[in-house]
Amino acid sequence: MNMEKISLSHGSGGKMMHALIEDIFFKHFGNDVLKEAGDSACLALGTKNIAFTTDSFVVKPIFFPGGDIGKLAVCGTVNDLAVSGAVPKFISAAFIIEEGFLLSELEVIAASMRKWSDISAVKIVTGDTKVVEKGEADGIFINTAGIGTFENEVRLGISSIKAGDKVIVSGTIGDHGIAVLSKRKGLEFESGIMSDCRPLNRMLHEALGVGGVRFMRDPTRGGLATTLNEIADKAGLGIVINEESIPLSDGVRGACEILGLDPLYIANEGKAVIIAEPSSVKELVLRLRENEYGKEAVVIGEVTKDIQGKVVLRTRLGTRRFIDMLTGEQLPRIC
């Protein structure tokens, strides 16, 4: 069914969102840099190379186990810079606030942004504030944009991925999505799961120091499956992952079992997918595990030229099936 209006599916990180971006935004804005569709744009400014990115944060509820919209806004942008291989330096913060929003909550959010930008060693250097009438924004929306620098000869890119490269994920998947979902009205459940929202720049900087990293991305909306599909599609190669290797916490597993959700499609906010050349992988995983945010880093699969542009899951029973990109929203089901 062709929709003439924007629906929630257009924002869920899956196929419909990708189609929207291509059919409208790329069509009108398209240029070489934009079409790279990297987490950050890598730009040459005179003799220096910088990374530039932006993201908007609309999460509900705004306070969730393990974080808040402010923490998300800082870490999300820091991570988009970090996975591009840049050192995050400065971010902007623009607020759209609904009339009636509590000042006390705004304080908490601002304090959280300060805390997490200090931890990430970035400065919030510019911003904007708009207030709209009641009903015109759901509480608060935050946009952050960030600038980072490339400190060394690191050049990451999908085009450098080769068949035989290994796929690493830096920890358990689905934590953020489940933490947020557990507080949503009508679905309330306890999982003990905290959002994994955190800044990965230090961890990824260490990883880059090992060498052999081809490409990195953070699997946010649409989950691990969508991110791997994006990479496979752009690289023109295949990715095979092992069901048994995918790290999953008990709470996320239980929550997914109750609601009938697939953790492969659930958002993460503090994880990275790293594609690396085979000889570096052992040390990379060790180095990631030395960092508090990478303790469960593990190899989950490999890149292959046997299939093109697709992702395959090797099930626990040894059979194989395709894992597609998320289509629309993933909703809890009874069936």
Partner 1 sequence: MIRYVDEYRDVELSLKIAGKIRDISTKPFNVMEVCGGHTMAMRKYGVHKLIGPNIRLISGPGCPVCVTSLKDIDKAIALAWAADVSICTFGDMVYVPGTSSSLAQAKAEGRDVRTVYSVHDVLNFAKEEPKKEFVFISIGFETTAPTAAAAIIEAREEKVNNFSVLALNKTMPAALTALLGDGSSIVDALIAPGHVSTITGLSIYEPIVKDLGISCAVAGFEPADILRAIFLLAELFEKGEVELINAYERAVKKEGNKKALAVMSEVFEESDAEWRGLGVIPRSGLKLRKAYAGLDAEKRFKIPAGDISSVCEGACICGDILKGIKEPPDCTLFGKACTPESPCGACMVSSEGSCAAWYKYEVPSSKVASSRG
Partner 2 sequence: MCWSIPGKIINIKGNIAEVEIGGARRNVRLDLIDAPAVGEYMLIHAGYAIQKVDEESAKFTLEFFEKCREEYKIKDKG
Footprint of partner 2 on this chain (CB under 8 A)? 182, 188-193, 249-255, 257-258, 260, 318-319, 333-335
- Rounded to a whole number of angstroms, the minimum distance from the CB of residue 256 to partner 2 is 8
Residue 193 interaction partner, one of partner 1, partner 2, none, beta carbon < 5-8 Å per kind? partner 2
- Rounded to a whole number of angstroms, the minimum distance from the CB of residue 184 to partner 2 is 13
CA dist., res. 147 & res. 41, Å (int): 10
Among 2-10, 72-80, 106-114, 154-162, the segment contacting partner 1 (CB under 8 A)? 2-10
Which of 103, 186, 292, 306 touches partner 1 by CB under 8 A? Answer: 186
CA dist., res. 51 & res. 87, Å (int): 9
Among 82-90, 104-112, 152-160, 323-331, the segment contacting partner 1 (CB under 8 A)? 323-331
Applying CB under 8 A, what is the total number of residues that bind partner 1?
A: 34
Cα dist. 316→169, 301, 319 in Å? 18, 13, 7
Cβ–Cβ < 8 Å for 9, 327: yes
CA dist., res. 15 & res. 112, Å (int): 33
Residue 98 interaction partner, one of partner 2, partner 1, none, beta carbon < 5-8 Å per kind? none
- Rounded to a whole number of angstroms, the minimum distance from the CB of residue 51 to partner 1 is 29
Which of 46, 103, 306, 334 touches partner 1 by CB under 8 A? Answer: 334
Which of 8, 43, 121, 131 touches partner 1 by CB under 8 A? Answer: 8
CA dist., res. 162 & res. 148, Å (int): 27
CA dist., res. 62 & res. 67, Å (int): 8
Which one, 61 or 100, has the nearer CB to partner 2? 61
Structure tokens at 246: 């995918």
Q: Can you tell me which residue has the tokens 């999908």?
A: 158
Which one, 183 or 253, has the nearer CB to partner 1? 253
Which one, 38 or 251, has the nearer CB to partner 2? 251
Which of 259, 289, 296, 304 touches partner 1 by CB under 8 A? Answer: 259
Which of 126, 187, 236, 290 touches partner 1 by CB under 8 A? Answer: 187
Q: Does 40 bind partner 1 (CB under 8 A)?
A: no
SS3 77: helix
Report which DSSP code applies to 265. G
Q: Does 28 bind partner 1 (CB under 8 A)?
A: no
Q: Does 24 bind partner 1 (CB under 8 A)?
A: no
Cβ–Cβ < 8 Å for 57, 143: yes
Cα dist. 226→259, 280, 285 in Å? 20, 25, 23
Which one, 22 or 250, has the nearer CB to partner 2? 250
Strand order in the sheet with 273-276: 213-217, 273-276, 166-169, 298-304, 238-242, 311-314, 320-323
Which one, 210 or 248, has the nearer CB to partner 1? 248
Residue 144 interaction partner, one of partner 2, partner 1, none, beta carbon < 5-8 Å per kind? none
Which of 31, 47, 104, 319 touches partner 1 by CB under 8 A? Answer: 319
Return all residues near 64 (Cβ < 8 A) that are at least 6 apart.
179, 180, 183, 195
Helix pair angle (278-290, 201-210), 10° resolution: 140
Q: Can you tell me which residue has the tokens 């971010």?
A: 91
CA dist., res. 281 & res. 299, Å (int): 8
What is the contact surface with partner 1 in residues (CB under 8 A)? Answer: 1-3, 5-9, 15-16, 19, 186-187, 253-254, 257, 259, 315-322, 324, 327-329, 331-335
